[in-house]
Amino acid sequence: MNAQTATRRHYLMCRPTYFTVAYAINPWMHPDDEAVDTERALAQWEALRRTYLDLGHDVSLIEPAPGLPDMVFAANGAVVVDGLAFGSRFRHIERLPEAVRYLEWFKAHGVEHGVRDAYLPLGIAEGEGDFLTTSTRILAGTGFRTEPGAHRELEEYVDREVVSLTLVDPRLYHLDTALAVLDEETIAYYPAAFAPESQRLLATLYPDAIHASEEDAMVLGLNAVSDGRNVVLPVQAAGLARQLEARGFEAVPVDVSEFRKSGGGPKCCTLEIRVGGGPERGSQP
């Protein structure tokens, strides 16, 4: 199997200064049962950031805010395609202020073509949690968080095909917990996370996709970040790592287990900034 080709990327991350499990808005969160080890979370996050830098990518930082423990999950803050930032409107009231923080960052630091709020009638939109960008389309999740109306709004805003997929397993509440975009033509996903019609659609669009096991899906192995060759994924997803290697990808395991207490993994902590003409060069401090 020929090796895949990596492309330099620009990521936005938020340091987990205030990260904790303060409430329960998905099945992973148990605020009364399991405390977050803050020092360990900080160390794991820093190791993830360093991994991206060591792979040659740019990493910008948004300032964390007290009272917003899930702001560390930068992927949910927006989706940025072709220099256009499409802001988030969160389903749960606890996370609503995060959307404002991320939109303010994009307005201050700039994306090439514009920033648009998602506080519009068409519905809930939770950024890259439910919008995953490929070279030809955007795969969009619904069923638990993002609403189909936002799929259509995004399609009009960025002028790309948006393909709706329905999630059915509450443990995999965002699309980025059930599916990973690996390169321009390849995805990995856990079929049972999707409604039957969505399974059929994915099989048609991606007949050569990697099918993850339930074991790997349930350690959030598909919450992965790929640059086209290197796939950063939870170290616990050993089976998926072997599948990736067999297909010519380089698996880059990281331990982000503290964030799994909130239902998060590497991708949740990572928002990709995509601009027209290819990945952006140069990062903000």
pLDDT tens figures, 219-231: 999 999 999 999 9
pLDDT for res 122 = 56
CATH architecture of 10-278: 5-stranded Propeller (3.75)
pLDDT for res 1 = 62
Domain boundaries, the chain: 10-278
Whether residue 92 lies in the annotated active site: no
Determine the average pLDDT of the residues in 1-7: 84
Mean confidence (pLDDT) of the chain: 92
Determine the average pLDDT of the residues in 240-257: 98
- 122: CB partners within 8 A, 6+ apart: 147, 149, 150, 152, 153
Q: What's the gap between Cα 74 and its chain centre? A: 8
Choice among 10, 151, 268, 269 that is catalytic? 268
- Count of beta carbons in the 10 Å neighbourhood of residue 127: 29
Nearest to 81 by CA among 278, 245, 282: 278
What tens digit of pLDDT does each residue of 49-94 get? Answer: 999 999 999 999 999 999 999 999 999 999 999 888 999 999 999 9
Q: Which has the higher per-residue pLDDT, 185 or 167?
A: 167
Six token digits for residue 23: 């409430």
| pLDDT of 279 above 70 | no
Choice among 92, 174, 211, 269 that is catalytic? 174
pLDDT for res 117 = 60
Q: Which has the higher per-residue pLDDT, 106 or 18?
A: 18
What tens digit of pLDDT does each residue of 257-275 get? Answer: 999 999 999 999 999 999 8
| pLDDT of 233 above 70 | yes
| pLDDT of 283 above 90 | no
Six token digits for residue 194: 């999707």
pLDDT for res 36 = 95
This prediction has a pTM of: 0.93
Strand residue runs (E) in 170-212: 179-181, 187-189, 210-211
Determine the average pLDDT of the residues in 141-150: 96
pLDDT for res 109 = 83
Six token digits for residue 149: 């109306």
Residue found under tokens 């856990």: 190
pLDDT for res 34 = 77
Determine the average pLDDT of the residues in 198-211: 98
Whether residue 174 lies in the annotated active site: yes
Q: How far apart are CA 141 and CA 126, in angstroms?
A: 10
